[in-house]
Chain A
Amino acid sequence: MITVADIRRVLPHRYPMLLVDAVTELVPGERITARKAVSVNEPWYAGLPDDLRAEQLAYPEVLLVESWCQAAGVLATWTDPNPDVLAGKVMLFGGISDVEFLRPVLPGDVLEHRVTVQRALPDTVMFEGDCVVGDEVVMTVSRVVMAFRPAEVLRPAPQGS
């Protein structure tokens, strides 16, 4: 059984940007199924006006993608975790291609991310899959590319260089 403690062991992300709550299935190098419960108690819901309609309280689409990618990150790093972003190799977002949003996600929904490895190369992994709420597909992902690069690439380059 993979617990949230295991997730925190392999991912550097922390509150409020740790957007994977549980892993329900993991086949290293192949696929993962992971969950994230969407709550109105997340910081993005702070200070909003009181008269908003439901669709105005839909979960931000980019965070659906971030949550899905973090599930992919657990899959990618499961066998060789490096949660320390300051040293060694760090996992970078290479690019996203064709992510479709099929229906709004609201607080109370539980996201089930289904991620499969499309192609794995030494320092680059490509993923595809989708996200469902119950039995309804809410998002499809054609391709997400993640690259493993030395942590130094994240160092802020000197101003104006």
Chain B
Amino acid sequence: MATTCSPVREGIRVEAPGTTTITIAEDNPIFAGHYPGFPIFPGVGLVECVHRSALAGTPDHRDLELAAIESTRFIGPTFPGDELTVELDWKARDGEWTCVAVISSPRGEAAKVRLRYREGGTS
């Protein structure tokens, strides 16, 4: 069972299978400390957006848990108010699932993320 606790609580809109959008709120508490006077959305915030988008559409609605962050590439900065688009697809791999995603902001690609999930309750 995935945790409900998240630094990114903005709503995930499922636009189509494998495509979600999320608008980063100007008043997300992250920005007060990252960084004072210079709000910039942290790289791990982008990973969290992919994670929550993945959980919003797991294969056959499976109950999955995050097993690993396999790789991330941070490409461009993202800021308060940005509408982010997550394009993701799932691959089954020896009993676990990998989710490959590209997350973009209005200015282009922001990050590439590959996550791995295991069936819930087996950790």
Provide the residues of chain B in CB contact with A95, threshold 8 Å.
Answer: 71-74
Distance between Cα atoms of A18 and B35 in the complex (Å): 10
Distance between Cα atoms of A62 and B4 in the complex (Å): 13
The interface on chain B, measured as residues whose beta carbon lies within 8 A of the other chain's beta carbons, has a size of 39
Asked if A62 and B45 sit within 8 Å, CB to CB, the answer is yes
Distance between Cα atoms of A160 and B66 in the complex (Å): 34
Provide the residues of chain B in CB contact with A104, threshold 8 Å.
Answer: 3, 123
Measured CB to CB, the nearest residue on chain A to B7 is A44
Selected from B4, B40, B45, B67, the residue in CB contact (under 8 A) with A154 is B40
Distance between Cα atoms of A49 and B2 in the complex (Å): 15
Measured CB to CB, the nearest residue on chain A to B67 is A101
A:57-100 near B, CB below 8 Å? 57-63, 65-66, 69, 85-86, 92-100
Measured CB to CB, the nearest residue on chain A to B5 is A44
Asked if B40 and A15 sit within 8 Å, CB to CB, the answer is no
B:57-114 near A, CB below 8 Å? 66-74, 76-77, 79, 106-107
**Distance of B91 from chain A, by nearest CB (Å):** 17
Interface string of A39-68 (1 = CB under 8 A from B): 000011100110011011111111101100
Selected from A15, A17, A86, A98, the residue in CB contact (under 8 A) with B71 is A98
Selected from B1, B5, B48, the residue in CB contact (under 8 A) with A48 is B5
Distance between Cα atoms of A56 and B77 in the complex (Å): 30
Instruction: Say whether A122 faces chain B, with CB atoms less than 8 Å apart.
Output: no
**Distance of B48 from chain A, by nearest CB (Å):** 5
